[in-house]
Structure 1
Amino acid sequence: MTYAVRMWQADQSADFGELLRHWRAVRRTSQLDLASVASTTPRYVSFVETGRARPSREMVLRLARALDVPLRERNALLLAAGFAPRYPVAQLGSAQLGRVEAALTSMLDQHEPYPAVVMDRGWNVLRVNRGARLLFGRLLAPDPMPTPANVLRLMIEPGPVRRSVLNWAAVAPALLERSGREAVGGVLDRDTAELVRRLRALPDVAELLADPASASPTAPVIDVRFALGDEVVELFSLVSTIGTPTDVTAQELRVEAFFPTDDDTRAAWRRISSNVKV
């Protein structure tokens, strides 16, 4: 199965009408359908897109909600229409995101001894628990974990992490498919879209993606098989997001928690974690 990756390609300096047309095209929504959901008329939507009408702040937000535009890009729509952004962009660790930080810490701690990480929308690792620190430490040794650590790059570009993934040929196409499916609002931001494009263009990755067999999974979940020294562990993951965010950073956070596939991995992980201090 293939996944159509939608990318944030609109010019950030575009006027509101251009941005509205862009998002309507992304959502494959007609002016009539958009007008119906936003409680306005197709004529008014047409006038806004062509610059013949200037929307109010409330109308900008109604149109953005109707198109399920991510919060960061809703701010861009407001700016293009001449209004101040509505949605804050707090830093993780700030007082504004105190409840979020506490919840993330609890999730990471409760998932021990298995790995769990917090990532932003660009797949950059922001927080790790002890299990994830152990996993990355084993995969990258003797080098330290890079800053920032980007999961897509670590898994797909040549390097020690990729060399440790025994079923890389199955994991890489699935991971690239995930990048589009898990994007905020189903739309990759400009930087992540460029990263995905570059990774897909790597010769061995392009060859994999061109092989129909790579899109024919034989199991309900694709495990990642890591070789960690003399041990082999097989892990699958669950991804969690914040349900009702009103802050840009909060909307873009994801927690990925890894679970052992079988009893052999549970036993191997107990041996690994009991012998190493991290």
Structure 2
Amino acid sequence: MAHPHDFAASLRLWRRKRGLSQLGLAGRTNISQRHLSFLELGRASPSRDMVIGLAIALDVPLRQHNSLLMAAGFAPVWRQTNLAAPEFVQIRTALDFMLAQQEPFPAVAVDRHWNLLQSNSGAVRLVEFLVGPLAPDAAINLADALVAPDVLRPYLVNWVEVVGYFVRSVEADAAADGSAETAALLQRLLAYEGVHAAVNAPPAELAITPVLPMHFRKGTTDLRLFTTIATLGIPQDITLQELRIESFFPMDEATARVLRGWVEQGTAEALSVPG
């Protein structure tokens, strides 16, 4: 059974997260400040439409929107569908297109917590160059791979700067979505050796590039890549709202030549194999 105070506490928490006064939120939802105060004290019970209106006004993510509804005693309204479901065929087609268009440069699709869902061949080539072949169907979390001491860190020259920025972005995610899962991810990342120091480190030097590249080095090969992150517009499913497509681009022509060369090398090797 839902308890009125569960919803009241959640409502107060989200309003404060968004930096709104009771008067400000009341104005957004076209209710009186007195009524909102009663809702936050558990002295009034919201209707289903009221919960939905408040969640929209507070820009609550779909997953937490469902939690608000359940705290108020209502059924969830947003689905979480497996990406492989038949109704997502057009989404998967678009995702395949985006990843293929990025070739020969890396691109990946991840969920809200950086679990790898899909990658293109460029991403596979980059990872295998750095750390060797991956186990088939291995579960990969890109946040752990980046932050942990024994995966990408040995090859990431500017690990301190990159990880400092990345962990701060996870902190922002944890504050924005208010979920236990994102909070757990943040605590896991902060527990790795050197991460607290990286987060608190001052900039090494004045910025001389428009974006912070990831500078990988293995042997005599240097790779400098910057990334972009895309999300789906107006998602109406939890899975799709939490989907991210991260694309990696070369920061210089030398990096581009290496990434293109791996494709040409693979094609040449394939053609040399007797049929």
Task: Give CA-to-partner distance per residue, 1:57-81, whole Å, 9 cap, x none.
Answer: 1100000001000000001111111
What percentage of residue pairs aligned between the two structures are identical? 38
Deviations 1:9-67 (A, max 9, x none): xxxx9711111111111111111111100111111111111221111111000000010
Letter in 2 for 1:236: F
Please report the RMSD computed on the Cα atoms of aligned residues, expressed in angstroms. 2.3
Q: Residues 80-91 of structure 1 correspond to what in structure 2 (within 5 A)?
A: 80-91=71-82
State how far apart, in whole Å, the 2-side matches of 1:124 and 1:148 are: 8
Q: What are the residue-to-residue correspondences of 1:142-157 with 2, within 5 Å?
A: 142-144=133-135, 147-157=138-148
Counterpart Cα distance in 1 of 2:110 and 2:147: 17
Q: CA separation of 1:143/1:256 partners in 2, compared to 1, >3 Å: closer, same or farther?
A: closer
What is the CA–CA distance in structure 1 between the aligned matches of 2:13 and 2:223, rounded to whole Å? 44
CA distance in structure 1 between the aligned counterparts of 2:174 and 2:245, rounded to whole angstroms: 14
The residue identity in structure 1 corresponding to 2:189 is L
1:245: how far off? 0.6
> Which amino acid is the alignment partner of residue 214 of structure 2?
V
Letter in 2 for 1:141: G
Residue 229 of structure 1: how far off its partner (Å): 4.6
The counterpart of 1:100, out of the listed 83, 91, 102, is 91
Cα distance change on mapping 1:94 and 1:31 into 2, 3 Å: same
Hey, what does 2:33 align to over in structure 1?
42
Matches within 5 A, 1:153-172: 153-172=144-163
Q: Aligned equivalents of 1:225 and 1:144: distance in 2?
A: 25
Q: CA deviation at 1:227?
A: 2.2
Tell me, yes or no, if structure 1 residue 260 matches structure 2 residue 254.
Answer: no
1:122 to 113, 137, 151: 113
2:223 equivalent to 1:233: yes
Contact (CA 8 Å) 2:229, 2:244: kept in 1 or not? Answer: yes
1:135 equivalent in alignment to 2:123: no
* Letter paired with 1:225: H
Which structure's relative contact order is higher, taking Cα pairs within 8 Å and 6+ residues apart?
A: 1
User: What are the ranges of 5 or more consecutive residues in structure 2 without an aligned counterpart?
Assistant: 271-275
Q: Is the 8 A contact 1:180 1:187 kept in 2?
A: no
Which structure's CA Rg is the greater one? 2
Normalising by structure 1, we get a TM-score of 0.88
Q: Which amino acid aligns with 1:262?
A: D
The TM-score with structure 2 as length reference comes to: 0.89
Aligned to 1:193, which of 156, 164, 183?
A: 183
Q: Which amino acid aligns with 2:98?
A: M
Residue in 1 that maps onto 2:273? none
Q: Which residue of the partner structure matches residue 212 of structure 1?
A: 202
Q: Show the counterpart of 1:76.
A: 67
> What SS does the corresponding residue of 2:233 show, helix, strand or coil?
coil
The amino acid that maps onto 2:233 is: G
Which residue does 1:5 correspond to in 2?
none
Show the counterpart of 1:4: none
Instruction: Classify 1:253/1:84 alpha carbon distance in 2 versus 1 (closer, same or farther; 3 Å).
Output: same
* 1:230 Cα offset (Å): 3.7
Distance 1:262 1:150, change over 3 A: same
List per-residue Cα deviations over 1:229-260 (Å, max 9, x = no partner).
54221110111001101111100000000001
Could you tell me how far 1:145 is from its partner in structure 2? 7.1
Change (3 A) 1:28 1:40: same
CA distance in structure 2 between the aligned counterparts of 1:206 and 1:177, rounded to whole angstroms: 10
Give the gaps of 5 or more residues in structure 1.
1-12
User: Tell me, what secondary structure is at the counterpart of 1:226?
Assistant: strand
Q: 3-state SS of the aligned residue for 1:88?
A: coil
